[in-house]
């Protein structure tokens, strides 16, 4: 039953179960790909949405000249 849930991508399956399946299949090296941000397109899009659209520098007031 658990393997069926893994195959269907059931979110209730523990991450350790996925790691065990990858180990049994000889694909444990692929486990690092799960956390690699290069493969997380949705996460990158969400991060880009949070970036400021434009950064403005504070206005500087001109220095007053001293009279001699």
Query: On the CB side of 59, how many CA atoms lie within 13 Å of its CA?
Result: 2
* Whole-number pLDDT of residue 34: 77
* Whole-number pLDDT of residue 33: 81
* Whole-number pLDDT of residue 14: 94
pTM for the model? 0.51
Dihedral sign (CA 42, 44, 45, 49): positive
* Whole-number pLDDT of residue 43: 87
CA distances from 24 to 6, 21, 28 (A): 13, 5, 8
Question: Tens of pLDDT along the chain (68 residues)?
Answer: 999 999 999 999 999 998 999 999 999 888 888 778 888 889 889 988 888 877 777 888 777 666 65
């Amino acid at each position: 039953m658990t393997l069926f849930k893994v195959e269907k991508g059931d979110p209730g399956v523990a991450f350790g179960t996925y790691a065990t399946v990858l180990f049994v299949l000889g694909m444990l090296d692929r486990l690092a790909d799960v956390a690699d941000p290069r493969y997380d397109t949705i996460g990158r899009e969400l991060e880009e949405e949070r970036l400021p659209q434009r950064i403005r520098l504070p206005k500087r007031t001109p220095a007053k000249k001293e009279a001699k």
